Chain A
């Protein structure tokens, strides 16, 4: 019995050490996932106010338990995972180019093609979503519902009889920041590629509002009160004013049939398209870096939403359809303050209940000075402790652990960094303008801090895995890539490129042509094998390694040499934790 166990173990070890070939197939990389195919869900009774016998053929709405989510992620899940001895695994939804295909969760936008300024600013808003308080007719925004709960007051309006928006004010302690953070954050998340709600700042004269009679609203304590003129006046009094104009944040209603937030762990059991555990999705993992950039510490499941998009738009809860996943509510970003300063200073640096730091501080007797102890409020009083001082992209933490964020590895973080590096200062400035700050210095400050924080992200994550990306083939066998690190930096002279090619066990150096805007190109020598071999024959397989002299590891570009007439075809990109020499000497 014991000897058989040892033979089994030896077999495993031998398999582990074998050098089996791992070639990319001869095909285009997958850029479109399959999770938006229509699927059907069993119908179940779901009475509505209008129809007590109504049956819905959509997934069950999920109600997120706020307290349990915090307790589970802070304590019980990490405790159980400790005993699972599972150090984590690579993300699943990664294509041959080390990128994420478009899906119901994510669409490649700025990472693939720079949007126009108009597209950037429009974000997730369609033309009918855009409100203009200056031109709205008196009484045209009909209030048909008070805001049922939450920290900031507001109400729902219907415009043109069909378009619904939730209007919210800032809180008096932090005028302009929460609404600006919602609008800017939503546009940022959208530009990166996530599905978001349409958020915008509107200034309007109260005369454009009209109140539907007989409205009631239930507050956080469960007490129901009328939402009448008196209540409306109280809400408007809390808002920031610019002269006679009221400033509020308008959130357009999401499309489809809302079925509650998505979890950062596991799959939705009643969504047949949801086949990848959420903690293993690169898009959700990489969102950690985006959240760190803007200090969106409130990135928990309650700030997400799933929507069932039925094929029949007239019957929103009918089958077939598919689920689309949205990010919501970035109003905590850019320096939200809590009632307790001790908590406010820690946001972004530690979890609310951070056993690691507590234990570390206890056993080191406070010898380590923590970043929140040095935190200083930003001048002007608008952005709390939001700054680039002490910003550590690796060490950034949200309120409490998030399974996807906790699973993010170097590759996931580097993926998001590649996307974020496409934002130039002008793009950031334009997005900050969506916040419609009254004082220009607030916009300037926010732009500066965001740019500096992005610089730290880029410096950290482009120093390890290769930042080379966007492979493309030019005529005459030229392979070109963009060095996203050099594209951003002013000190281009510190980059030293080396490249080598391996084909059919022969290795040769390739000269690298350095162009502007981070571009590098190399001429691939024609090494076609003798005619007659199939296109995907191993003899056609070529690996090009390239190193930029800054990142610790090299990039590997995998190609097939299809001969002098058809040229090369790029089939894969990899960013292994290997130097150029190790990469070229390793078998694919």
Chain B
């Protein structure tokens, strides 16, 4: 074994020796100090032990990773490839470009994709965005956004957004506050959506948000690895079909939101208060039913030293009420879990019901120029109509820690680890683990 290692090291050293064009012999450095070198200390001798043990790792990192990569990348640089790539992927005075994206969410299919941007497209203050994602044959997503900023304030915008998504790995655990992680089943969903959005700052900290969305959704058989499938559970009679699952739905949604946010963008300190309220009317063309969706939240943030160590305390609630006896599709009910909703330690779609309430504490701190550390702990759950059945013992806990990028939310990066629990009434045991790395999807 030792002989093999030594031979490999010698062979590699010959391979890596650069061209020697010198006609003269390499000079022998003089004896600078003229004094014999000090004897090796015991520590220096003992260092050979870890050195030899770690030699294979060193050889791999130096000669199989660093040197070949250096040869390729440095060679490409000298040939002008990066400049060509930069010009290829960014154009129009570098106001436009394409960047690769990826998202890894453990227990969901990973995806790769691209994010394209074009600022001041055709006219000034008119930005275009395009995102595409691919996670295998059954996993495709694309979204487009055209947004026009009608004042110097970047909050004032009108936007046209469109989205299409086909994924097989959505999760369903049942409805209500007492669902278990072990009840997981998978389903597929096809979504097509177009939206017209208007944001406007009314006064210094007040913003009005309105949108009209046409959303068309169909459900289908899904799956992920060996996880149980919702269709099979329905067929076996162990689960009733969730509302809207069998027929899908086509919604016309009109939403109005009002928020007050006294926090200022960086570099200003992060203290402030955010209060928001939202209400939406939804009409389902397929069954002529309609429902309203509404809610609000308060978030207080305190910048502990005015250097962006921000402690936040917040509470939010969401409700959905049918009009007459309409059925509310389950994916339009208040939900908790996933990246886009509170309680990130839980899977996306973990909890659905007529109402949801969450309270939480968050802490954010800077770790690099455009990266923050993020720590969250929340308690919450979903409940019946207007929080019926609410009890403190029926709440769950979710916690997460990670890093998130700072700046534009369009293509922000996150790396986080989260956990979630069953209800406190059931013991509060941790039964959910999430690990997410990559850039956010959608806008």
Contact = CB atoms under 8 A, between A and B. Distances in A.
Interface of A: 9, 12-13, 15-18, 20, 22-25, 27, 30, 33-35, 37, 39-42, 44, 59-60, 63, 65-68, 71-72, 76-77, 79-80, 82-87, 92-96, 101, 221-222, 269-276, 319-320, 340-343, 346, 352-354, 357-358, 361-362, 365-366, 369, 373, 572
16 contacts: A24-B33, A24-B34, A24-B35, A30-B30, A42-B21, A65-B78, A72-B66, A80-B58, A92-B32, A269-B21, A270-B21, A275-B29, A341-B267, A342-B370, A362-B367, A369-B305
A163 to B, nearest CB: 31
B365 A365 contact: yes
Contact of A22 (B35, B51, B61, B370): B35
A65 B373 CA distance: 33
Interface string B38-65: 1111101101001100110110011001
A164 to B, nearest CB: 26
B3 interface: no
B21 A79 contact: no
B29 A93 contact: yes
Contacts of B368: 353-354, 357-358, 361
B137 interface: no
A141 to B, nearest CB: 32
Nearest to A96: B33
Contacts of B403: 362
A572 B35 contact: yes
Given A80-B66, A269-B20, 4 more contacts: A34-B30, A65-B73, A270-B18, A342-B370
B25 interface: yes
Contacts of A346: 369
A401 to B, nearest CB: 14
Contacts of A275: 26-29
Nearest to A85: B51
Interface of B: 17-36, 38-42, 44-45, 47, 50-51, 54-55, 57-58, 61-62, 65-66, 69-70, 73-74, 77-78, 80, 82-83, 87, 267, 305, 307-309, 363, 365-371, 373, 375, 403
B66 A272 contact: no
B355 to A, nearest CB: 34
A429 B61 CA distance: 49
Contacts of A101: 32
B318 to A, nearest CB: 30
B19, B33, B36, B305 interface centre (most CB from chain A within 10 Å): B33
Contacts of A270: 18-22
B30 A33 contact: yes
B28, B30, B42 interface centre (most CB from chain A within 10 Å): B30
B77 A66 contact: yes
A342 B366 CA distance: 11
B173 to A, nearest CB: 32
A269 B42 CA distance: 35
A135 B424 CA distance: 88
A342 B369 contact: yes
Given A65-B78, A67-B77, A68-B70, A85 B65 contact: no
Q: Is the interface of A mostly helix, strand, loop or mixed?
A: loop
A67 B29 CA distance: 33
A272 B25 contact: yes
- Per CB-CB distance, the 10 closest pairs between chain A and chain B, nearest first, are A366-B365, A83-B58, A65-B74, A269-B18, A65-B77, A39-B24, A40-B23, A25-B34, A80-B61, A272-B24
A278 B268 CA distance: 45
Given A41-B22, A83-B61, A76 B45 contact: no
A140 B308 CA distance: 57
A68 B55 CA distance: 25
A23 B35 contact: yes
B27, B58, B87 interface centre (most CB from chain A within 10 Å): B27
Contacts of A23: 35
Contacts of A320: 24
A45 to B, nearest CB: 12
Nearest to B51: A85
B364 to A, nearest CB: 9
Nearest to B66: A76
Contacts of B24: 39-41, 272, 320
Nearest to A95: B32
Contact of A366 (B70, B83, B366): B366
B366 to A, nearest CB: 6
Contact of B36 (A22, A83, A269): A22
Contacts of B375: 365
Given A71-B73, A365-B365, A13 B42 contact: yes
A222 B83 contact: yes
A95 B387 CA distance: 82
Contacts of B27: 34-35, 37, 39, 272-273, 275
